Structure 1
Amino acid sequence: MKRYFRLLVILVIITSLTIGCTKDTNINKELKTISFAYQDGTPALTAAKLALENETLDEYIGIDYEMVKSPDLLVSKILKEEADIAIVPSNLAAQAFNKGLSYEVVGTSVWGSLYLTSTEDINNIEELKGKEIYSFGKGLTPDLVFTYILNKNGIDPVKDVNISYLNAASEVGPIFLSGKSNLAILAEPLLTTVMMKKEDAKIVFDLNKEWERATGAQNGFPQASLVIKRDLIEINPEFVESFISTYEESRKWAGENKEKLAEYAEKLEISVNKETIEKGILWNNIEIFGIEDCKEEYKIYYNAILDFAPDFIGGKIPDEKLYFEK
């Protein structure tokens, strides 16, 4: 009888422990939603497949896809750490890091997509001397990249050329189409739209290629980066790996499936003209994404900016902790 009683007690203890472990597991697996923020335009196109198909990557984690229209709103979300994952200008990733924020750069979403466009035949950069060139984003990436390239080619961007700055990339296209300017810095996908409407327009210089020549960078400059919060990386590494892989597939798919991408963009209300996407926007280095394959390009980019406009990256070069490691 005593032996039977002892066995019964042991069985009760084992059952209690099993139930306790199950409860603890369920507590640790609470449902949660993370925020993925990115700007309307080309960054949104890289995430279109991921956002529309909304594949379940983890049964306990949902993703809130948030496309923002304003660059200022995206900056605010990053500086307030409201986004868990985001596609941001690569200089903003450095700024956030230098402010002590916990984002890591995972890879390059968009490589340089800026182009000097003209109706003139211009064969070398020296021929730009004395010309008026319309551009946008004074003090930001388009301006810094272009003026850096001019300097490296012996052209003073203040004395040798006349750069007329507009407030936004969208304002440059109409000026160029009107004939008021025959030299303009255009960003994709606006470039493709303009060239569809103006038959004599041509790409004079691909600034990504010119950046390679000026700096020695193998793949040009990283225009926009995918960043993820460090605590998400540390707490949910399996989800993060799955997300990175699925986003990378979405990004590559965007560059290879223009008709389907146009359909997805329309459904997601991405403000890129359907005909522009179907025509085929230019994607640089669509096969290169992971930070392990392009860290050197970031270091060259940040070093060039530090010499030219240090405040643009927060006053110093970010250390290795900025870069995600698998």
Structure 2
Amino acid sequence: MKGSRAMKRLACGAAGLMLVLALLPGCAGSTPATATAAGTTAAATPSVEPSAVKTTIRIASLKGPTTMGLVKLTSDAEAGQGKQDYEASMYGTPDEIVPQLMKGDVDVALLPANLASVLYNKLEATPGSQLEVAAINTLGMLEVLESGDTVKTIADLKGKTIYSTGKGASPEYVLDYLLKQNGLDPATDVSVEYKSEATEVAAVLASTPGAIGVLPQPYVTVLKAKSPAIRTALTLTDEWAKLTKDSQMVTGVLVVRRAFADANPAAFADFLTDYKASTEFTNTNPAQAAPLIAAVGIVPSAQVAEAAIPACNITYIVGAALKTTLSGYLKVLFAADPASVGGSLPGDDFYFGS
């Protein structure tokens, strides 16, 4: 059963995360958090006749909440209980996943929301590489952290150095948008130093008094648990809501290669059913999901994982709600900087099932 290899891949991909977390003062026993998106509606998974022979579905995900919502699916696959044959691999950055999507070596990927739009625009001319978004899997989970007490508003970031991850992805464009909307020029009024992974930002915050950084969950929960001097100065979801009441901040989405979905409709429908159940399991059974999250190395302990789950905004939004929510978010980014979504807004064929 190839599902057994899925968990091994996740665990191996997380080894680097475990090592860096161990370098944070006292973080060896902590775990990040994950939150449920309250009040969101999810359309039913399309009904398709089940396939008789299991199809191998190659899944690429990122360290953090998106994979925290995937662990029940991979655990069931390892036990031979998946509706299809799932091979899952976890990576530290989107840059490791993109080439595989372009070559067709991955069927399904969990990516930053704006990057999905960028790739849609980039890959439309590449046969077999066209992408569709099938689900929103995480909503806003970015926070501005400070080892101090000087930041109360976005305007207070003027003249500061901010450490962040996600250059070219949602963290960069959300931060730029919020800075501009609050009268700050991201190029001159602040200095943003981008790190390749969230664990690097966490390490700087843990070791540098007065440092300011942008981190996603579950790294926020891990860091604050072991470094009491670090506080949440701002929640970017709240700052977004103050400016754009008609849209939500979307962090992550699940994309599928159109050629794969078209060729394997029943298998992909089975995957969506299993994935929805997996996200619901993580949110509604945190005590049971936590050991699975720790076992694949996303966080260093089940205790930390359980504490983090409520803050990670793991969700499953599909169908009409997916299109409304994601298109609203992308429109805001596009108005602020067209490059943030790949130069143009995606067409209707960007949304699976449209």
With the shorter chain as reference, the TM-score category is 0.7 to 0.9
Greater relative CO (CA pairs within 8 A, separation 6+): 2
| Structure showing greater Rg | 1
- Identify the residue that residue 273 of structure 1 maps to in structure 2: 300
- Identify the residue that residue 25 of structure 1 maps to in structure 2: none
Q: How many residues align?
A: 295
With 290-299 and 315-324 compared, the bigger mean Cα shift is at 290-299
Tell whether the 8 Å contact from 1:173 to 1:186 is kept in structure 2 after alignment: yes
Tell whether the 8 Å contact from 1:115 to 1:205 is kept in structure 2 after alignment: yes
Structure 1 SS opposite 2:97: helix
Tell whether the 8 Å contact from 1:248 to 1:289 is kept in structure 2 after alignment: no
2:231, 2:253 → 1: CA distance?
A: 28
Tell whether the 8 Å contact from 2:145 to 2:214 is kept in structure 1 after alignment: yes
Structure 2 SS opposite 1:325: coil
1:133, 1:70 → 2: CA distance?
A: 20
With 172-181 and 106-115 compared, the bigger mean Cα shift is at 172-181
1:166, 1:62 → 2: CA distance?
A: 35
Q: 1:71 to 1:181 in 2, by over 3 A?
A: farther
The one-letter code of the counterpart of 1:272 is: V
- Identify the residue that residue 115 of structure 1 maps to in structure 2: 143
With 256-265 and 98-107 compared, the bigger mean Cα shift is at 256-265
Q: CA deviation at 1:41?
A: 2.5
Residues 12-40 of structure 1 deviation map (CA, whole Å, 9 limit, x = unaligned): xxxxxxxxxxxxxxxx9665422122123
Structure 1 SS opposite 2:68: helix
Tell whether the 8 Å contact from 2:144 to 2:232 is kept in structure 1 after alignment: yes
Is 1:75 the counterpart of 2:102? The answer is: no
Residues 42-79 of structure 1 deviation map (CA, whole Å, 9 limit, x = unaligned): 22211000001126454xx4222222344322111112
- Identify the residue that residue 186 of structure 1 maps to in structure 2: 215
Q: In the alignment, which of 174, 180, 190 is matched to residue 161 of structure 1?
A: 190
1:127, 1:299 → 2: CA distance?
A: 31
Tell whether the 8 Å contact from 1:36 to 1:64 is kept in structure 2 after alignment: yes
Gaps of 5+ in 1: 1-27
- Identify the residue that residue 10 of structure 2 maps to in structure 1: none
Q: CA deviation at 1:256?
A: 3.1
Q: Please, what TM-score do these two structures have when normalized by structure 2? A: 0.74
Tell whether the 8 Å contact from 1:117 to 1:201 is kept in structure 2 after alignment: yes
Q: How does 1:1-326 map to 2 (within 5 A)?
A: 32-54=55-77, 56=81, 58=83, 61-98=84-121, 99-100=123-124, 101-118=129-146, 119-120=148-149, 122-218=151-247, 220-267=248-295, 269-274=296-301, 275-283=303-311, 285-287=313-315, 289-325=317-353
Tell whether the 8 Å contact from 1:113 to 1:282 is kept in structure 2 after alignment: no
Structure 2 SS opposite 1:280: helix
- Identify the residue that residue 3 of structure 1 maps to in structure 2: none
Structure 1 SS opposite 2:183: coil
Q: 1:276 to 1:228 in 2, by over 3 A?
A: same
Q: CA RMSD in A?
A: 2.5
Structure 2 SS opposite 1:145: helix
- Identify the residue that residue 47 of structure 2 maps to in structure 1: none
Q: Please, what TM-score do these two structures have when normalized by structure 1? A: 0.80
Q: CA deviation at 1:281?
A: 4.1
Q: Percent identity?
A: 27
Tell whether the 8 Å contact from 2:92 to 2:197 is kept in structure 1 after alignment: no
Structure 2 SS opposite 1:123: coil
Structure 1 SS opposite 2:171: helix
1:245, 1:32 → 2: CA distance?
A: 15
Residues 102-155 of structure 1 deviation map (CA, whole Å, 9 limit, x = unaligned): 321111112121101123164332233333322233343212111111111222
1:307, 1:169 → 2: CA distance?
A: 27
2:340, 2:180 → 1: CA distance?
A: 18
Tell whether the 8 Å contact from 1:215 to 1:300 is kept in structure 2 after alignment: no
Q: Which runs of 4+ in 1 moved over 6 A?
A: none
Tell whether the 8 Å contact from 1:133 to 1:181 is kept in structure 2 after alignment: no
1:266, 1:136 → 2: CA distance?
A: 23
Q: 1:97 to 1:163 in 2, by over 3 A?
A: closer
Tell whether the 8 Å contact from 2:150 to 2:156 is kept in structure 1 after alignment: no
Q: 1:35 to 1:166 in 2, by over 3 A?
A: closer
1:287, 1:223 → 2: CA distance?
A: 11
- Identify the residue that residue 17 of structure 2 maps to in structure 1: none
With 109-118 and 62-71 compared, the bigger mean Cα shift is at 62-71
